[in-house]
Amino acid sequence: MEQACKPRKRKMKGIVLAGGTATRLFPMTATTSKQLLPVYDRQMIFYPLNTLIKAGVKEILMIVAPEHSGQFLNLLGSLLKKHGIHVTFEVQSVPRGLAEALTLGENHIGDDNVALILGDNIFEDDFAKQIKDFRSGGHVFAKKVSDPERFGVVKFDENNIAVEIVEKPVEWISDYAVTGLYLYDNCCVEIAKNMKPSDRGEIEITDVNRAYLEKKELEVTLFDGEWLDAGTPDSLLEASMIVKEKGISRNFHPILDQAIIEFNEELKIRSKKRLQ
C-alpha cells in the first residue's frame, strides 16, 4: 500500500539506536549499556557516531534505555555541541523492534531524510558518499556472512537486483545479511506506523525495507570491509582485536577525536579538583 509522507528534502538527520538490555553480555551490562562498553580504546557508541559525523550529519537523536539515560547524557550531552553537532535523547521504555526508532524519532526526522544506525554496529568501510548522495526511497548495506539465518537477508536475481528480503529465514535464500545502517526518506515514519508486529511481537526493520523494495525504491550496496556486531563476550573481544589490528579507531573524523580529547582533559581536571 502506498504510504503518504511529507515532501522530501535533501537534509540528512541521524538516529542511533542504543537501547535494549543486552542480556547476552551479562553481567557487564547489568550496570551499564552495551554501547558504553569499550571496543579497544573507546566506547562502542563512538563508532556509529563516527559513521554519521563523517557523512556530515549534524543533528543526531540517541535512543536509549531509561536505566542508562543518565550515563549517555553525562558522556554525550555537551561533548559535540561546540563542534556544531547537536545530540538529543529519547528514552525507549520497552524495546519493541528496530523500526520503533522511526516512530520515536518522528519529530526529529520531520520533513527530512534519516540515517538510522544501530549503536552496536561497527563498520570498517566509509559510507559517507552514500549518505551524502542519498535523496529518496531507502538504501541499505549488505555483507556476505556465514550464518545468514541470524539476520535479515536480501536475495538478488541474476542481474544482482534485490528481489526479496526475509527476516531470519528458516530456509536458505541468500548469504547476504542486511547490516545495521539504514537510509530512508521521511516516508519511513508512516511506513513504520502502519506495520503490524511480527510473531516476535516486534516492529521489524525488515518489513520497512520490504515496503520500499515492493515500491521499487530500495537500493542495496554490497561491501567487503569489516562489519562488527559486538553482542557477546567473544564477539566483543574479537571486535576490539580487529579494531586494533586494522586501525579502525585511528580513522575517526577529527571533530570526534578532538571532542574525546577535550572530554578526557575535562575528566582529569575534575579528578584533580576532587583530590584538592
| Rounded (10°) angle between helices 46-54 and 254-275 | 140
pLDDT of residue 276: 66
All structural domains of the chain with their residue ranges: 12-135+178-275
Q: Model confidence over 47-56: pLDDT tens digits?
A: 999 999 999 9
Confidence of residue 268 (pLDDT cuts 50, 70, 90): confident
Mean pLDDT for 238-259 is 96
Q: Model confidence over 85-135: pLDDT tens digits?
A: 999 999 999 889 999 999 999 999 999 999 999 999 999 999 999 999 999
CA atoms within 13 A on the CB side of 179: 27
Torsion of the alpha carbons at 149, 25, 205 and 202, rounded to the nearest 10? 100
pLDDT of residue 223: 97
Name the DSSP letter for residue 190.
H
Taking domain 12-135+178-275, whether its CATH number is 3.90.550.10 is answered by yes
Predicted TM-score (pTM) above 0.85: yes
Interior angle at CA 112, CA 106 and CA 113, nearest 5: 90
* Mean pLDDT rounded to a whole number for the chain: 93
